[in-house]
Structure 1
Amino acid sequence: MQKTIKAGILIAALVVPALIFLYLKGFGENHYELPYMIPLTDSTTGNVLMKKNPNPRWNQPEMDTVFHTIPEWELKDENGKAFSSKTLKGKIYVADFFFTRCTSICPKMSTQLTRVQDTFIQNADVNFVSISVDPLYDEPEVLQKYAKEYDAISGKWHFLTGDKKVIYPLAVKGYYIPVADASEYDKAIKAPDETFIHSEKLILVDKEGHIRGFYDGTNKKDVDRLILEMRVLIKIYQTAS
């Protein structure tokens, strides 16, 4: 009887760890999550749009929510060359809207972006895009000077200008960021900081053009959260590949 009990204990000691290992191997991987922003809705019913999940995992639903994708656009960079959103396909990037004459929130935002850039300096999949809301003044040579002030790395951090009729709708409908030129409503407004109204938000965009987060670019702690969530997004792509 004792031999049988000992044999049972020995078998259990050998088999149970093996079963635990197999369970952990099959189901215990680290799964990283980061939400998508801006779910799309049906204009007639108001219901959230859904699509069939092509490859549902064992713990995921068959239907997925359809999320906003930033539309394609083309502007001009700090070198005076055409710069298209197609250049950013397959890259994680952080976007913001600013102007070089801004003396309030823009210097804080750009300083924080320098810190984020330096954090991911070795990662070629990470880019940064700063789009001017004062394009008539912010010509390429002005953007070049501004880029140098914040140690922007050419080819990694892009400063863009163009037609206001393109930039403003892109900000509002593409990146869900408010922007306005107050001088259009009040001709007495002259000071640049009072003229150009825009958000302090930094926008995290994934490789497919989905918005994955909004962050206060003037707040160090919120930018720390951006850095953390960028690392999470990078890990998600690494795990999926």
Structure 2
Amino acid sequence: MNKKTGILFLVLIVPVFVYLGLKTFGTNHFSLPRYVPAIDSTTGEIKMAKRLNPRWNEAEMDTVFQTIPSFTLLDETGKPFDSNNLKGKIYVTSFFFTRCGTICPKISSQVSRVQDTFHEDPEVKLLSISVDPKYDQPEKLAAYAKRFDANKGQWHFLTGEKKVIYPLVLQGFHVPLADASEYDAAIKNPDETFIHSERLVLVDKEGIIRGFYDGTDKKEVDRLLVEIKVLKSIYSNE
């Protein structure tokens, strides 16, 4: 084999072996953590359950994780939004209120980036839940959605009763939330009244939390974009 033939062989054959290697060994190696283990109320211990390990085709004990509880709220059109609409979907949830002049516009701008990346992707949904539901009626949400060019049917802005929203945010999505007016009636500035998290929460198709991200930090949202793609890849390879 002369030098030119050897070079031609490498140029033609090596990419084939690289492709075959990636095809054989380069799939199904991605993983994302699951958050918030379920706790047995009688023992105080983390719940465990048997699951089938598809790699070994054997049953093994695995941690049981909490899922987002079912809920029904109102969307920006004034229609009921049932969490059953999210079954089989990957979704990102943010928390805001329309009168917020500090971090909320920053968060919504970053959520808009997520929307642009997964434009009309039927697998990916976006939720923005108001923590000021008494003021944020559907017409307020509709104006806010228009401000950020929200895709109807993909990015949902939700409101409802405070007694439903606050436990859902605190105990379901596991992010902090408080209404300062409940303990200090002198507070009148909305930005000082509603103390909520800047976090975006990534939820998988089973309703399990897979990530928390600072919604005011571009690098954190870059990580979210990557991890949504990782999650989609995990599902496609199952």
TM-score (norm 1): 0.86
Mapped contact 2:145–2:157 kept (Cα < 8 A): yes
Q: Does the Cα contact within 8 Å between 2:27 and 2:237 map onto a contact in 1?
A: no
Q: What letter corresponds to residue 236 of structure 1 in structure 2?
A: I
Aligned to 2:149: 151
Deviation at 1:47, TM superposition (A): 2.3
Output the amino acid matched with 2:168.
L
Q: How many residues align?
A: 220
Deviations 1:46-79 (A, max 9, x none): 3221100134422987111000101100000000
One-letter amino acid of the counterpart of residue 161, structure 1: T
Q: Compute the TM-score of the two structures, normalised by the length of structure 2.
A: 0.87
Q: Which residue of 1 aligns with 2:229?
A: 231
Pick the aligned partner of 1:77 from 75, 78, 83: 75
**Identity percentage over the alignment?**
64
Written as runs of structure 1 = structure 2, the 5 A alignment for 1:46-125 is 46-58=44-56, 62-125=60-123
Judging changes above 3 Å, is the alpha-carbon distance between structure 1 residues 112 and 59 closer, same or farther for their aligned structure 2 residues?
farther
Corresponding residue for 1:139?
137
Which segments of 5 or more consecutive residues in structure 1 lack a partner in the other structure? Answer: 1-21
Superposition deviation, residue 178 in structure 1? 1.1
Change (3 A) 1:23 1:154: closer
Q: Whole-Å Cα distance in 2 between the matches of residues 226 and 23 of structure 1?
A: 28
Instruction: Quote the Cα distance in structure 2 between the aligned partners of 1:107 and 1:164.
Output: 22
Q: Which residue of 1 aligns with 2:9?
A: none
Matched with 1:212 is: 210
Evaluate the alpha carbon distance shift between residue 26 and residue 227 of structure 1 in structure 2; reply closer, same or farther with a 3 A threshold. closer
Assess if the C-alpha contact under 8 Å between 2:52 and 2:59 holds in 1.
no
Structure with bigger gyration radius? 1
Q: What whole-Å deviation, never above 9, does each CA across 1:130-180 have from its counterpart, x for those lacking one? A: 000101111111100000111100000000000000000000011001111
Distance 1:189 1:34, change over 3 A: same
The gaps in structure 2 that reach 5 residues or longer are 1-19
1:18 is aligned to none
